[in-house]
């Protein structure tokens, strides 16, 4: 279970809630108490038309939070959600051990070599385009969404290998809601076994996303928790093994119950 700590003023569901380091650290502690195994710290929103964040500002946002969380929760691995190698480098120097790159190593040529040299774990997420438009529909044209996402993820795995990253450090993520319309996100989740077939652990990030709002009619992002639970449980049954969520307690409980049943299936 990966708990989300957004140190941003503008994230789509919790922007501004944990923008001060103290609030972010208190939130991280709560998420771990609720059952998070990993905390994912982000200092830049990917919501469409978000304000670009300078490297120096992103470092200023995330490094104190990584440092404080490492001190407060030394047994909880910290992941840094960034597409910028200098931000990842600063976070790793402060104790982060996983790089969550929503561009799948596409946007910063230094990211792959940095991850290889540091031995960090790497989440390779599928997306298209730049940070400002990757969560929009600007590049959401597909003839076969699952086939194309699978092929593009395979090429990101090759890029990771070319940088010297060990396959054992890599997790794949289909990038739900990134360069995808609602029908694409739903189809990808339904076809998750084809992403699992790439042979690496799969993470899904469905938490509170737009496709849930479009299915249920729920516009308030924080009220999309029931839909989030349903999508996570289905993803678990289809092979996902890591879940990036805002509401860790509800996700932990629902996935623990689903898993107890699943592991006895004959």
- Least CB distance from residue 20 to ligand HH2, whole Å? 16
Helical segments of the chain, H only:
21-33, 55-72, 85-93, 111-118, 145-162, 182-190, 192-196, 210-216, 225-237, 248-262
Q: Which is nearer to ligand HH2, 71 or 233 (CB)?
A: 233
d(CA 157, CA 233): 26
Judged by DSSP in three states, 171 sits in strand
Residue 76 near residue 36, CB atoms below 8 Å: yes
Instruction: Choose the stretch contacting ligand HH2; rule: CB under 6 A; options: 30-38, 45-53, 146-154, 185-193.
Output: 45-53
Among 73, 96, 102, 186, binds ligand HH2 (CB under 6 A): 102
Site string for ligand HH2, 217-256 (x = CB under 6 A): ---------------------------x------------
By beta-carbon proximity to ligand HH2, the closer residue of 82 and 163 is 82
Question: Exactly one of 125, 157, 200, 231 binds ligand HH2 (CB under 6 A); which one?
Answer: 125
Give the C-alpha distances (Å, rounded to integers) separating 86 from 71, 82, 83, 201: 22, 9, 9, 26
Active site residues: 209, 244
Among 8, 94, 146, 163, binds ligand HH2 (CB under 6 A): 8
Site string for ligand HH2, 56-95 (x = CB under 6 A): -------------------------x--------------
SS3 content of the chain, % helix, strand, coil (to 5): 45, 15, 40
Q: Using the rule CB under 6 A, which residue among 9, 19, 37, 47 binds ligand HH2?
A: 47
Count of alpha carbons within 13 angstroms of residue 261, beta-carbon side: 9
Of 40 and 89, CB closest to ligand HH2? 40
Q: 202 to each of 35, 122, 216, 248, how far by Cα in Å?
A: 19, 12, 26, 18
Nearest to 123 by CA among 108, 154, 146, 101: 101
250: nearest Cα among 218, 231, 226: 226
Q: By Cβ distance, which residue is nearest to ligand HH2?
A: 205
Yes or no: say if 159 and 105 are a contact pair by the CB < 8 Å rule: yes
Return the residue of 1, 3, 5, 6 that touches ligand HH2, per CB under 6 A.
6
- Within residues 152-191, the interface with ligand HH2 by CB under 6 A covers 173, 175-176
Q: Quote the least distance from Cβ 260 to ligand HH2, whole Å.
A: 26
Q: Which residues bind ligand HH2 (CB under 6 A)?
A: 4, 6, 8, 11-13, 42, 45-47, 81, 100, 102, 123, 125, 173, 175-176, 203, 205, 244
């Amino acid at each position: 279970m990966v708990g989300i700590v957004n140190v941003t003023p503008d994230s789509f569901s919790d922007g501004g809630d944990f923008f001060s380091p103290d609030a972010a650290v208190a939130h991280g502690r709560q998420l771990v108490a609720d059952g998070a195994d990993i905390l994912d710290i982000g200092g830049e929103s990917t919501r469409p038309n978000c304000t670009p964040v300078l490297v120096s500002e992103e470092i200023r946002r995330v490094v104190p939070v990584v440092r404080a969380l490492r001190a407060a929760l030394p047994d909880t691995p910290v992941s840094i959600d960034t597409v910028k190698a200098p931000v990842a480098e600063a976070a790793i120097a402060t104790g982060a051990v996983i790089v969550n790159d929503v561009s799948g190593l596409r946007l910063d040529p230094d990211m792959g070599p940095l991850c290889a040299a540091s031995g960090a774990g790497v989440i390779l997420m599928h997306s298209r385009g730049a940070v400002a438009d990757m969560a929009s529909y600007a590049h959401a044209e597909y003839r076969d969404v699952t086939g194309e996402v699978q092929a593009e993820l395979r090429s990101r795995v090759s890029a990771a290998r070319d940088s010297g990253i060990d396959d054992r450090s890599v997790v794949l993520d289909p990038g739900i809601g990134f360069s995808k319309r609602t029908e694409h996100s739903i189809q990808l989740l339904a076809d998750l076994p084809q992403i699992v077939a790439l042979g690496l652990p799969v993470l899904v990030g469905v938490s509170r996303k737009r496709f849930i709002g479009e299915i249920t009619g729920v516009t308030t992002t924080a009220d999309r928790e029931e839909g989030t639970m349903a999508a996570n449980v289905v993803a678990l049954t289809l092979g996902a093994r890591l879940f990036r969520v805002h509401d860790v307690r509800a996700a932990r409980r629902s996935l623990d119950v689903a898993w107890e049943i699943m592991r006895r299936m004959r």
